[in-house]
Amino acid sequence: MTDAIRPLIAGNWKMNGLKAQAAEFDAMLDRAAEVTGKADLLVCPPATLIAAFADKARGKKVAVGAQDCHPKASGAHTGDIAAEMLVDAGASAVIVGHSERRADHCEDDALVRQKTEAAWRAGATAIVCIGETQAQRDAGQTLEILGGQLAGSLPESSTAANLVVAYEPVWAIGTGLTPTTRDVEQIHGFIREFLTSRFKADGASMRILYGGSVKPSNAAELMAVKNVNGALVGGASLKAADFLAIAKGCP
Residues acting as catalytic residues: 98, 168
List Cβ neighbours of 57 (8 Å cut-off, separation of 6 or more).
Answer: 29, 63, 64, 90
Rounded Cα distance, 207 and 236, in Å: 21
Helix (H) or strand (E) holding 31: helix 22-31
Distance separating alpha carbons of residues 158 and 206, to the nearest angstrom: 9
With vertex at residue 122, the alpha carbon angle to CA 103 and CA 71, rounded to the nearest 5 degrees, is 35
Q: Is 98 exposed, middle or buried (0-12, 13-18, 19+ CB in 10 A)?
A: buried
Q: If DSSP codes are grouped into helix, strand and coil, which group holds residue 79?
A: coil
With left for phi above 0 and alpha for psi between -120 and 50, is residue 194 left, alpha or beta? alpha
Q: What interhelical angle do 181-205 and 142-153 show, nearest 10?
A: 20
